[in-house]
Structure 1
Amino acid sequence: MRIFDGLGQRIRLAMAGNNPWGSGGDGSSGSGNDDDGAKGSGGGDKGKGPRNPWLPPGSGGGDGRRGPNIEDIFKNRGPEGPRRKGGGPGGPGFQFPQRPGGKSWFPVLVVGIIGLGLLATSVHLIGPQQKAVVKTLGNYTRTMDSGLQFSAPFPIETVDVEDVEGVRPIRIPGNNNQAKLILTGDQNLVDLSYIVRWNIKDLADYKFRVVDPEETVNDAAEAAMRASVAEKNLDETFSGQGRAAIELDVRERMQATLDSYRAGIRVLGVEIEKADPPSQVVDAFRDVQVAEQNADAARNQARGYAQQVVSQAEGEAEAFDKVYEQYRLAPEVTRQRLYYETMERVLSKTDKTIVETDGVTTYLPLPEVRRRSQQAQPTTTVTAPGGQ
């Protein structure tokens, strides 16, 4: 300490002999030779000369110009530089409020924040369509149902919530413009696009049995669709009844495959959106369809004509049966009536009558007389003026 005091005295003497701030406000030079540094030069009055920059703020000394001690210089200095108090010049910075006993509230606040975090990770409100799996230190332990549930705080137990009732659709193929060609039972290709709707049946199996559930559903759907279409011909694939049978068969095949994997997935339904021929042969296929439609129309027309002829023949046969019943009751009268009706129907369409029975006077052939009179009339010739 004596070494530091001697060094401090030498610094004060050097500063007293050569003041870097010039003279004071009253023209007196700032010189001082006190050992304790209590008084400055110029009579020791306050306000004379600049304040000593080596002296920390608020230090002792009546005039604020006492020479700094070497201990004062290094007292507030650390390895990283001078230590400063508070929030800048003019006073100390923010101070945390204290408890009535004089202790700080900071530890209480830290403990409260940690407690709230533990409480937030221990209480879980699970929705009506949701379930949750609980993992203790990374291992599956149980499944939580819907409602208010509790668990150990994080990271001891972690809770993963999933919607198990919501319908999840998968469109195959994912791109509507992409073709999905499938071979039918009669060695034809058909372009199919369909939607598979599914949800979660067992949350624990869904989470821990398969790596990618959606990819698993996609692969199972494609395999089931190809197997079902391979058992149908092309016409059955295009017809509505055939589509319904394929959709039901695909759903059953998919469910059996996913259950064998223990994937925890329930297949709700399969819907075929499009069943068309390949784009390369769509024009030829349309021509074939038009020809088939024309053939169906011709067959329908022939069936209609046949039904008409048969109906007419049946009507005539029924009428003949009725006439025959009357003939059996009165044969002569019926025979005479049939003769008259037949002659009336035949002779009404001709202008000639041949009568071979004796004693019958023929009727006056008025149509024939009229025709002959028209043919015998002279033709009138009109002569143009000038003799031509």
Structure 2
Amino acid sequence: MAWNEPGNNGDGNDPWGGGRKGGDKGPPDIDEVIKNLTKKFNNLFERSGSGGSGSSGSPPVSGKMSGGLIAGLAVVVVVIWGFMGFYIVNEAERGVVLRFGRVMDAVVGPGLHWNPAIVDVVSLINVSELNAKTYDNRAMLTTDENIIDIIVTVQYLIQDPVSYVIAVENPELSLDNASESAIRHVVGGNFMDQILTTGRDQVAIDVHERLQSYMDIYNTGMFIQQVNVVDAQPPEAVRSAFDDVIVAREEEEQVQNEAAQYSNQIIPVARGNAQRQIEQANAYRQEVIAKAEGDASRFNQLLTEYAKAPEVTRQRLYIDSLQDVMTASSKIMIDVEGGNNLLYLPLDKIMEQNTLPTGGNRPSTIREWQDLANELAPYLPGPSTNAAVDRARINRGGRP
């Protein structure tokens, strides 16, 4: 029966268990309300009859009230669970959905999305951000058994978010191990001088290719954008010696550049001189050929004349030869016939002391030669003796 119907022991209790003695219309006691709510929660799943009363004298809890409370709580839980399923994917992100641990085929794009909470687990992966990691590797051994310290920076993108999430347990750790392995492999295959000087770019390219192959084998979904060799130095204990080597190498390159510059200056000059000598040689060749052809032609003509008059031609040739020899000589040695003495005629001195008819030039005509013979007559042996010089003729100035 209702709490206010007649026959309810006349105690005037309200449904909250609070007595209304004396006609008190005030609010129920808070402690009593909490106790009643606790009892109701304890009896949610118990079926109770419409009669009977508890030891505290409170009225029985109805089945209808228990069912309504359960429904209300269920609705609240469902609403909260539904709101938990909403999430936002940014423009640079992609979402990978795992439903009970199994990856869904579709990758979630940018925007507002809903997935059932607890059932689906959504991992948001940034696929546009350029990530970078720096590896400071110490005491790496080169192929020539030297040790260097090298710092390498690796820049990468997450290209496949699904593989990044499910293929490897810890993709970042896999990248660290693969980078360490690739750097050691490439450094171990190069000489120290190459890594420290001109071979840095090639080292970066080799590390890039090897590291990308590792990432593809592991199926991490990462794309290696770029690898940079930030620094490569020998160990601190021997760095000063290597600095001296680098300075010496720079000086060597400077000297080589200066030598190349000098070579570029001198080679064109040498080539010009060589070409000029070649041209002069060709001109001399043409001159000698022309002269030989002229001599051959003159000899043929002389042969024709010799065939006509041998004695005359022979005498003429002798005189011409003697004239050529005498005109080209400044001193004459004369073998006196029948004696053992040689007569020395210093023509150059005689010509300096005596003025020639031609004004100091060599005789060119017969008359001039006759005058020269008269000048030389005192110095020649006289007709009386074969070896004596005619002193009288010298005193007379050469006159007979």
Instruction: Tell me the TM-score normalized by structure 2.
Output: 0.50
1 CA distance for matches of 2:181 and 2:255? 42
What do the CA deviations read for 1:183-235 (whole angstroms, capped 9, x no partner)? 22222222211111112233233223323221211110110011112111122
Aligned partner of 1:272 in structure 2 is 229
Aligned twin of 1:7: none
Quickly say closer, same or farther: Cα 1:256–1:304, change in 2 above 3 A.
closer
* Aligned equivalents of 1:113, 1:281: Cα separation in 2: 73
Aligned equivalent of 1:128, options 81, 91, 111: 91
Is 1:263 the equivalent of 2:220?
Answer: yes
Matched with 2:153 is 195
Q: 1:118 to 1:316 in 2, by over 3 A?
A: same
CA contact (8 A) 2:204 2:228 kept: yes
CA distance, structure 2, for counterparts of residue 188 and residue 125 of structure 1: 54
Measured against aligned partners, the alpha-carbon deviations of 1:2-29 in whole angstroms (never above 9, x if no partner) come to xxxxxxxxxxxxxxxxxxxxxxxxxxxx
Cα distance between partner residues in 1 of 2:30 and 2:183: 81
Equivalent in the alignment of 1:217: 175
Residue of structure 1 in register with 2:202 after alignment? 245
Deviations 1:239-296 (A, max 9, x none): 44x2222222212222222222222222222111112222211110111222233334
Q: Which amino acid aligns with 1:233?
A: F
* Gap change, CA 1:244 and 1:307, over 3 Å in 2: closer
What is the rounded CA distance, in whole Å, between the counterparts of 1:267 and 1:318 in structure 2? 59
Residue pairs, 1:301-380, within 5 angstroms: 301-302=258-259, 304-305=261-262, 310-323=267-280, 358=351
Instruction: Please give the alpha-carbon distance, in whole angstroms, between the structure 2 residues aligned to 1:203 and 1:258.
Output: 14
Amino acid of the structure 2 residue aligned with 1:136: R
Superposition CA RMSD, Å = 4.3
| 260-269 or 292-301, larger mean C-alpha shift | 292-301
Q: How much identity, in percent, do the aligned residues show?
A: 23
| Pair 1:167 & 2:157 matched | no
Q: Is the 8 A contact 1:131 1:143 kept in 2?
A: no
Write the distance in 1 (CA, Å) between the matches of 2:35 and 2:108: 61
Q: Which structure dedicates a bigger proportion of its chain to helix?
A: 2
1:293 matched to which residue of 2? 250
1:204 is matched by which residue type in structure 2? V
Look up the SS of the partner of 1:180 in the other structure. strand
Counterparts of 1:320 and 1:151 in 2: how far apart (Å)? 94
SS of 2:207's equivalent in the other structure is helix
Structure-2 change in CA distance of 1:271 and 1:300 (3 Å): closer
Report the count of equivalent residues: 245
Equivalent residue letter for 2:134: R
**Residue type of the partner of 2:248?**
A
Q: Is the 8 A contact 1:184 1:230 kept in 2?
A: yes
Preserved CA contact (<8 Å) 2:96 2:108: no
Equivalent positions of 1:137-148 (< 5 A) are 137-148=100-111
Q: 1:287 to 1:116 in 2, by over 3 A?
A: same
1:230 to 2:193 alignment? no
- 1:166 offset after TM fit, Å? 1.7
Question: Structure 1 unaligned runs (5+)?
Answer: 1-55, 62-74, 84-105, 174-178, 332-355, 362-388
Which has the greater radius of gyration? 2
8 Å Cα contact 2:234-2:242 kept in structure 1: yes
* Partners of 1:150 and 1:225 in 2: CA distance: 42
Cα deviations across residues 123-147 of structure 1 (Å, max 9, x unaligned)? 4442333211223345544443314
Task: Say whether the 8 Å CA contact 2:160–2:221 is kept in structure 1.
Answer: yes
SS in 1 for 2:169: coil
**In the TM superposition, what is the alpha-carbon distance from 1:329 to its structure 2 partner?**
7.1
